Structure 1
């Protein structure tokens, strides 16, 4: 039987292009635009089976490519080979962004930026690519590894699929890698760990899955965006080794504890977001060491226990969101009077009391949200039936595997429990239970009676706090731009702050100081 004429083309693009066609047909045949997990898994396998970007790039690849053009230098010749291979790997370019990618003058291509070579200032090389918001469909060919002078690679808000090719390990000068809001699949792209100069990594809004590698947090990054993927592992204990000032884990399927090592990030960390995962256990005491943090969001997980007294160490915190968890106990002045606080949501938990300073009507300079708890005399609280199973069985965080043991500054025994809220409960105690059992005074059997005129035992003074926060160092490493990319496309508009408290929406100011703000997510596929 004679094979069809289109067979070679289908064989070459079966992994990614046919997956796009399959996705389109699934959406067309379904009343809902969302794909099920089984449909997604099938599509991901199709993409990963036989794409050419799974291959690596040989060292002498460009020497085997015959061209009729002449170039100013070999670097521009390599760039031409890479960009032409990329253009062939594009299936759809609705804004005709790559229409100008013709001829040997690669520095004139739209979205391609040249600068002087670091090795020889007289030579021009391709130093940056910015195709943000072009809605291009295609994949990344292995030939992109020929762009060895590349310092910036931005392709957010497109429809690229497949994986990040292994040949990216040859981009040794790459400082910024932004592939967010695309359709990449497969495990975490470990090739990025080999790029030692990388400072900014943004892979959010894709379909990466599986485990987060521990080596990721040992890279010298300044910003790391992992949100809106399908990662399912625990957060590695190496988190505390990260130099990043912004880390976003939100909207994945991560489980387990927040590592105790988080306290080691006190010098550099400014914003960290754990929102909407499957994280659990008590919050580590070492969170109180993060004196430079301005944003801390743990909303929509299953954290339990109480807010440790060490949280008063968050002297620069502005946005604090612990809503939609199973936290209980008392919300004290230690939290509500933090000096830089602007917005504090502790709604939809099981707190049974709050200090006067936490009441929304008492503070006009701070936004508080306490609804959906178990606080007497407050509106919109849980019913007694909902509260009883959690409030009647308090979690002992000092004995919990999450947050209790194994910290870098463990609590002192017995009388210095950082999770003990008894001193602050006197400010606004929750109502006592209806029936108190009568006190039983029964001296020990073999103990001699105390002397009649013995003085009362001394009253111990309150113990000092467990952690004295380390000195604040306000010098996180700035993002490195080489070269500063010309802005050919306007940045996306910043979305207004989310109003419904129970929706899982990231605050729009997360990472706003970086060159690639959170991209809008295209509906469906």
Structure 2
């Protein structure tokens, strides 16, 4: 047998081997889907999951790569049963979306066995109890959304060990412990949403959070924050949206806040902030500023007039004084201006 013939034979054998392995993996994963359907009480929304139907890789809830399942998106499917361990028999699963269902119980630690999981969305369900202290076992996660459930206790320090996280959404829960500063260890984090955790223990905005140099969105409205906004918040150089409204924050607005080049939306309303608004404004991308319902004094910064993209400026219910800068009347994008309930004088 010539070398060419031998090479062809080896190539064909390899094709047959991988073809057989692929077929076996497909059959195994299809069976897992059938068992999931049965566990979820044959939910009408996945009635099309059948043995005789076309390839499951063509089903809208399924994402495949190389004929193997990598994603399950079962959003708003009226699922009211738990997440079974067998889901991790889908060995190549990287994305799991189960939001807007009625899934009960504690955090499903069986997902620890989904070793390739990068994207996990369990928001808008009925989960209760604490987030496990060893959640860092999901070490590959880049996206974690547990919002709008009934999780309680502390946000565990181990969350800070999920080094690959880009997105962390924990808003609208029942956390009654403290917000752990270890979250500041997530150097790749771009979105941190902790709003509407009204039962959280009163806590200061952690200095560790100012280490999040890639953070674009920080949403901590109604998170029971107290104390001052640290001057080091100016280190969040990628920040685009900052919402610390409806808390118990005191002290002055840091000068560094209006030096953030990418900042577009700033919400600090309904706090106890005092002193003057910083006069030097370098955040020229601002579109919204809401500093209303505080204890701010002094003049309205003339520098606000430089903000050509500003569409909303809310400063009402403070103790501001002096004249309204003429430059504000020349802001081309401004459509919503609220300055009432202050001690302003002169004409606009």
Q: TM-score per shorter chain, which class?
A: 0.7 to 0.9
CA distance in 2: counterparts of 1:92 and 1:101, whole angstroms: 9
Q: 1:371 to 1:358 in 2, by over 3 A?
A: farther
Query: Which residue number in structure 1 is paired with residue 48 of structure 2?
Result: 100
Q: 1:200 to 1:149 in 2, by over 3 A?
A: same
Q: 1:78 to 1:206 in 2, by over 3 A?
A: farther
CA contact (8 A) 2:260 2:282 kept: no
Query: Which residue number in structure 2 is paired with residue 452 of structure 1?
Result: none
CA distance in 2: counterparts of 1:191 and 1:78, whole angstroms: 30
Task: Please point out which of 167, 170, 184 is paired with 1:240.
Answer: 184
Superposition pairs for residues 418-433 of structure 1, below 5 Å? none
Structure 1 residues 171-180 or 370-379, which shifts more?
Answer: 370-379
Task: In structure 2, list runs of 5 or more residues that go unmatched.
Answer: 1-19, 325-338
Q: Write out per-residue CA displacement over residues 343-371 of structure 1, whole angstroms, 9 at most, x where no aligned residue.
A: 11000111122334277x99664221101
Shift of 1:238: 1.5
Task: Please point out which of 344, 368, 376 is paired with 2:313.
Answer: 368
Q: RCO (CA 8 Å, sep 6+): is it higher in 1 or 2? A: 1
Q: Secondary structure at the match of 2:289?
A: strand
Task: In structure 1, list runs of 5 or more residues that go unmatched.
Answer: 1-69, 117-123, 384-427, 429-525
Query: Which residue number in structure 1 is paired with residue 15 of structure 2?
Result: none
Q: 1:216 to 1:301 in 2, by over 3 A?
A: same
Query: Which residue number in structure 1 is paired with residue 166 of structure 2?
Result: 222
CA contact (8 A) 1:213 1:236 kept: yes
Shift of 1:381: 2.4
1:310 and 2:256 matched: yes
Shift of 1:308: 2.1
Query: Which residue number in structure 1 is paired with residue 227 of structure 2?
Result: 281
Q: 1:356 to 1:195 in 2, by over 3 A?
A: closer
Query: Which residue number in structure 2 is paired with residue 115 of structure 1?
Result: 65
Q: Write out per-residue CA displacement over residues 172-212 of structure 1, whole angstroms, 9 at most, x where no aligned residue.
A: 11111111112222211556421221111111111111111
Shift of 1:139: 1.9
Q: 1:112 to 1:164 in 2, by over 3 A?
A: farther
- Structure with greater strand share of residues: 2
Q: Paired residues, what number? A: 303
CA contact (8 A) 1:333 1:357 kept: yes
Shift of 1:168: 0.9
CA contact (8 A) 1:89 1:138 kept: yes
CA distance in 1: counterparts of 2:106 and 2:81, whole angstroms: 11
Q: Write out per-residue CA displacement over residues 202-232 of structure 1, whole angstroms, 9 at most, x where no aligned residue.
A: 1111111111111212312011111111112
CA distance in 2: counterparts of 1:89 and 1:343, whole angstroms: 48
Query: Which residue number in structure 2 is paired with residue 86 of structure 1?
Result: 36
CA distance in 1: counterparts of 2:56 and 2:306, whole angstroms: 62
TM-score by length of 1: 0.53
Task: Please point out which of 349, 361, 380 is paired with 2:294.
Answer: 349
Query: Which residue number in structure 2 is paired with residue 412 of structure 1?
Result: none
The structure having more radius of gyration, on CA atoms, is 1
Q: 1:332 to 1:284 in 2, by over 3 A?
A: closer
CA contact (8 A) 1:82 1:144 kept: yes
CA distance in 2: counterparts of 1:101 and 1:350, whole angstroms: 59
Q: Secondary structure at the match of 1:228?
A: coil
Q: Secondary structure at the match of 2:159?
A: helix
